[in-house]
């Protein structure tokens, strides 16, 4: 493995090897494909909802505890509101039998006992299915797991001689067992086995675990073997297609934003973790929120950002911290995050059950448009997020990140509504309505999130800006060559930086081409290709140019718009300082648009480009 490592500098350069020809030809990653390449397989048209054992019990779970929460989900009415996945996280396994078959820990899951000792989760999944629920399971992409590596004192770690319970070397067989034989519907796949078992690790030196040359590095994205990690997940996807052939599966990627998974996880899985594990603390919530909040363009129906499971019920989010618990839920709803409850529902007080059951916020999260909220503003501790809903309404959340009360101002322009027409806000916690014209001030308690549904008169009357529609915009190639830690996140470790952004440059600045500011638009690096689904609009209009924030003033960029694979418009070669060029194309009958910005060289980070005011028009 070590000899054949392909380094991350080669992302996007797929090699086509013609039979009999020794020389490799790099394919052009910017060539139009005429198709939407983000994942739509599996069951994730809207973000998954349900329950997971980890935050409630860590590995100390058993059948009784899990089924009690499942029963509560049904009896409380949460199942009817969409919470349907009941997911077992780490802690369910006994060991891998010598012949390779995985065995269930039957002392914890008695219904899995069989006369011949082979164990089966089928009675358990049958039980969940009979309750109208779905069943989820946990595994690791390496040979060994996270708890084995980092939580040696946890109960229920694998036992026996062969403690290699991960998928590595067993992908097809394990997926066949979990989905085909046992009837699971969901799998969460961790990456600890790909990162913690190197030759120098104490785990391997102790002789307890076999060495696996790390291909994943959580701290340094460029030390990961990105193609190798992706290839393993692709193998899982192939196995799922075979063993869950009815397509009733959900694939959850859990590699915490590493290996630049932002750029490719959306093409492979249904949800993809953007950060390390959440903890029941306000600062941890903010970090996890920040890793997903600037990735709106990387989430679409079928492939969502996952800032980790809900921790409502514990620590800073328990019943004594209702403000924080409500903020957690509202922010996750706005981000189109999976809503996976992580608490022991046997003991959850009604106040918190009401948080999980807030129909208005569930509707925001499950809105069919599939548009993740976009960060519209940040002033000190106040952050405003706006999410476009399928019927044209907006959801707006105003977050007070800080620990002192704050005044915040919402203005109609942040909603892309007119300043001179009334806006109606419905408070999604209280159900009450308020009206304003122009702007309105609010007083926020520490850590409070106000969240509303908003109706108003649109500034752009005959269409929608692409930046309002992240669910139909896919940065198929985002130009990122050397992913960097995001310095705006504390601690700055994940590759959330330099990606495509709605209404911002890839580095979070306002969009500007020569003397012109664009409040609306897509910011992305050069040598990029955006795929855009057309939902029956007749025209696309845009003003293109190299963004003023580019550090390279010499290299020109050419912008081309394709419709279903055919070129529709092309700009002149534009350098930094050149005026934005207007392009307009007829999109009648066109299903997929591709917006390509191309330049010489690979130093794309020096050339942020702006698709200013990019909009679909009727």
List the catalytic residues: 190, 277
Please choose, from the candidates 290, 335, 332, 293, the residue with its C-alpha nearest in 3D space to the C-alpha of residue 312. Answer: 332
Minimum gap (Å) between residue 512 Cβ and ligand GLA: 39
Minimum gap (Å) between residue 446 Cβ and ligand GLA: 28
Contact 92, 107 (CB under 8 A): no
CB count, 10 Å around CB of 168?
20
Q: Is 190 in the site for ligand GLA (CB under 6 A)?
A: yes
Q: Is 393 in the site for ligand GLA (CB under 6 A)?
A: no
Contact 474, 266 (CB under 8 A): yes
Q: Using H for helix, E for strand and C for coil, what is the string for 394-447?
A: EEEEEEECCCCCEEEEEEHHHHCECCCCEEEEEECCCCCEEEEECEEEEEECCC
Nearer to ligand GLA, 87 or 610 (CB): 87
Nearer to ligand GLA, 178 or 537 (CB): 178
Minimum gap (Å) between residue 526 Cβ and ligand GLA: 34
Contact 121, 127 (CB under 8 A): no
Beta bridge partners of 596: 529, 560
Please choose, from the candidates 255, 252, 315, the residue with its C-alpha nearest in 3D space to the C-alpha of residue 285. Answer: 315
CB count, 10 Å around CB of 392?
12
Q: Using H for helix, E for strand and C for coil, what is the string for 316-383?
A: HHCCCCHHHHHHHHHHHHHCCCCEEECCCHHHCCHHHHHHHCCHHHHHHHCCCCCCCCEEEEEECCEE
Please identify, among the stretches 144-152, 443-451, 474-482, 524-532, the one whose residues bind ligand GLA according to the rule CB under 6 A. 144-152
Minimum gap (Å) between residue 457 Cβ and ligand GLA: 44
Minimum gap (Å) between residue 381 Cβ and ligand GLA: 28
Q: Which of 8, 32, 47, 54 binds ligand GLA (CB under 6 A)?
A: 54
Q: Cα–Cα distance between 607 and 528 in angstroms, integer?
A: 11
Query: Which 525-554 positions form the footprint of ligand GLA (CB under 6 A)?
Result: none
Nearer to ligand GLA, 175 or 254 (CB): 254
Judged by CB under 6 A, how many residues of this single chain contact ligand GLA? 10
Minimum gap (Å) between residue 129 Cβ and ligand GLA: 23
Minimum gap (Å) between residue 277 Cβ and ligand GLA: 5
Nearer to ligand GLA, 141 or 147 (CB): 147
Lookup: tokens for 214: 């790390």
Q: Cα–Cα distance between 569 and 251 in angstroms, integer?
A: 38
Q: Which of 66, 146, 299, 340 binds ligand GLA (CB under 6 A)?
A: 146
Q: Residue 424 class from Cβ within 10 Å (0-12 exposed, 13-18 middle, 19+ buried)?
A: middle
Please identify, among the stretches 141-149, 445-453, 467-475, 568-576, the one whose residues bind ligand GLA according to the rule CB under 6 A. 141-149
Q: Is 90 in the site for ligand GLA (CB under 6 A)?
A: yes
Q: Cα–Cα distance between 342 and 288 in angstroms, integer?
A: 16
Q: Is 254 in the site for ligand GLA (CB under 6 A)?
A: yes
Binding mask 2-31 for ligand GLA (x = CB under 6 A): ------------------------------
Q: Which of 41, 63, 89, 318 binds ligand GLA (CB under 6 A)?
A: 89
Per-state percent for the chain, helix, strand, coil, to nearest 5: 25, 25, 50
Q: Which of 267, 277, 319, 564 binds ligand GLA (CB under 6 A)?
A: 277
Nearer to ligand GLA, 57 or 616 (CB): 57
Residues at the contact surface with ligand GLA, assessed by CB under 6 A: 54, 89-90, 138, 145-147, 190, 254, 277
């Amino acid at each position: 493995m070590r000899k054949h490592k392909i380094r991350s500098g080669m992302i996007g350069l797929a090699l086509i090897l013609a039979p009999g020809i020794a020389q490799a030809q790099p394919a052009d990653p910017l060539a139009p494909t005429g198709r939407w390449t983000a994942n739509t397989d599996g069951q994730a048209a809207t973000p998954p909802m349900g329950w997971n054992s980890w935050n409630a019990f860590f590995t100390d779970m058993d059948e009784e505890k899990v089924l009690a929460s499942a029963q509560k989900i049904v009896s409380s009415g949460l199942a009817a509101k969409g919470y349907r996945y009941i997911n077992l996280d780490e802690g369910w396994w006994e060991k891998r039998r010598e012949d390779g078959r995985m065995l269930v820990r039957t002392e914890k899951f008695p219904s899995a006992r069989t006369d011949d000792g082979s164990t089966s989760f089928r009675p358990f999944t049958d039980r969940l299915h009979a309750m109208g629920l779905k069943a989820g399971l946990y595994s690791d992409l390496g040979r060994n797991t996270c708890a084995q590596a980092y939580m040696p004192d946890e109960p229920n770690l694998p036992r026996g001689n062969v403690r290699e319970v991960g998928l590595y070397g067993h992908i097809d067989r394990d997926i066949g067992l979990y989905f085909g034989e046992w009837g699971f519907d969901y799998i969460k796949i961790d990456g600890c086995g790909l990162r913690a078992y190197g030759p120098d690790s104490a785990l391997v030196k102790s002789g307890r675990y076999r060495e696996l040359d790390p291909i994943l590095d959580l701290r340094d994205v460029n030390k990961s073997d990105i193609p190798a990690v992706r290839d393993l997940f692709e193998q899982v996807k192939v196995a799922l297609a075979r063993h869950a052939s009815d397509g009733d599966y959900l694939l959850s990627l859990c590699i915490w934003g590493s290996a630049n998974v932002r750029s490719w996880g959306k093409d492979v899985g249904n949800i993809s973790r953007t950060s390390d594990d959440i903890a029941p603390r306000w600062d941890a919530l903010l970090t996890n929120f920040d890793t997903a909040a600037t990735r709106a363009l990387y989430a679409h129906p079928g492939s969502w950002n996952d800032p980790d499971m809900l921790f409502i019920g514990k620590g800073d989010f328990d019943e004594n911290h209702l403000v924080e618990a409500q903020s957690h839920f509202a922010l996750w709803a706005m981000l189109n995050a999976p809503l996976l409850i992580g608490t022991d529902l046997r003991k959850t007080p009604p106040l918190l059950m009401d948080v999980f059951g807030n129909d208005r916020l569930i509707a925001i999260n499950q809105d069919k448009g599939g548009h993740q909220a976009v960060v519209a503003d940040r002033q000190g501790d106040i952050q405003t997020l706006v999410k476009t809903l399928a019927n044209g309404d907006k959801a707006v959340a105003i977050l007070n990140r800080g620990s002192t009360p704050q005044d915040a101002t919402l203005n109609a322009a942040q909603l892309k509504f007119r300043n001179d027409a009334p806006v109606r806000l419905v408070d999604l916690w209280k159900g009450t309505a308020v009206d304003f014209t122009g702007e309105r001030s609010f007083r926020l308690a520490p850590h409070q999130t106000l969240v509303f549904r908003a109706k108003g008169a649109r500034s752009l009357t005959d269409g929608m800006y692409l930046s309002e529609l992240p669910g139909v915009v896919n940065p198929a190639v985002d130009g990122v060559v050397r992913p960097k830690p995001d310095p705006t996140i504390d601690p700055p470790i994940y590759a959330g930086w330099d990606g495509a952004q709605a209404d911002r440059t890839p580095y979070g600045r306002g969009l500007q081409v020569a003397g012109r500011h664009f409040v609306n638009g897509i910011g992305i690096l050069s040598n990029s290709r955006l795929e855009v689904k057309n939902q029956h609009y007749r025209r696309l209009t845009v003003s293109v140019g190299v963004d003023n924030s580019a550090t390279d003033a010499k290299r020109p960029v050419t912008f081309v718009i394709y419709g279903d694979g055919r070129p529709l418009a092309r700009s002149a070669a534009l350098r930094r300082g050149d005026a934005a060029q207007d392009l307009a194309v007829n999109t009648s009958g066109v299903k997929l648009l591709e917006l390509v910005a191309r330049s010489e060289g690979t130093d794309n980070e020096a050339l942020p480009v702006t698709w200013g005011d990019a909009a679909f028009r009727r």
